[in-house]
Amino acid sequence: MPKVKMPRKSTAVDMTAMCDVAFLLLSFFILTTKFKSPDAVEVVTPNSVSTKPVEAKNVVQVIMDKEGKVFFSVGDESVDEKAQIIDMINEGKSLNLTEQEKAAFTKSGSYVGVPFAMLKSFLQLSPDQLKNYKAPGIPTDTANNELSVWMNAATRAFSGAKMALMVKGDNNAKYPSFKGVIDAFKKNEIFKFSMVTNPEGVPEGTALSQKRATGAKEE
């Protein structure tokens, strides 16, 4: 008796559900990704062989550009500490800052690079005005080291937590500016800080190499 041949049918896979899942995942990563905000001050850091990534919490950063101007900033995560710092500066220097002006200091990506006499007008600048603003820097000379006042306020604001102090200097920054920064630290009995550099030749197995392997960014 002859065998009956069954007709062959091609296998069809419905990809609709897979496409939906792919777009859902893509939307999730786009919405939850935290992009790094652009640097307030353009600085070309020197190269170094680093083994440790920079801290991400309780960060206080002092920046020196290539012209030797000094800037002060606090990490965006430390909102309460930012508010305490600007309140202490406002009270100590009798600046009569408004709530709106103080809010400008606590907002994301904020920094200070002016003397106290110019701080009130600086905090009134709009984001568009800040882009083209040429800040003179915080005075750090021997006769008038205003950075020491900022560091004193930061030390008190972070008294209940470990403050991660970072110094980010341009490769062409001159020694007098760096000396003024160190003098401000010494005046507040701060003897430990980290230098932010451009890591190269990261040894295998270190914390920084593991961070790079996961695709995270470091400074």
Q: Residue ranges of the alpha helices (H) in the chain?
A: 16-32, 79-93, 99-106, 116-122, 127-131, 147-157, 175-187, 207-213
In sequence order, which residues have a C-beta less than 8 Å from that of residue 219 and are 6 or more positions away? 45, 54, 168, 196
pTM, two decimal places: 0.70
The residue ranges of every structural domain in the chain are 57-213
Strand partners, 199: 48
| pLDDT tens by residue, the chain, 219 residues | 566 666 666 566 666 666 677 767 777 666 665 544 455 566 555 555 555 565 668 999 999 988 889 999 999 999 999 999 999 999 999 999 999 999 999 998 899 999 999 999 999 999 899 888 999 999 999 899 999 999 999 999 999 888 999 998 888 877 888 899 999 999 999 999 888 877 665 555 555 555 555 655 444
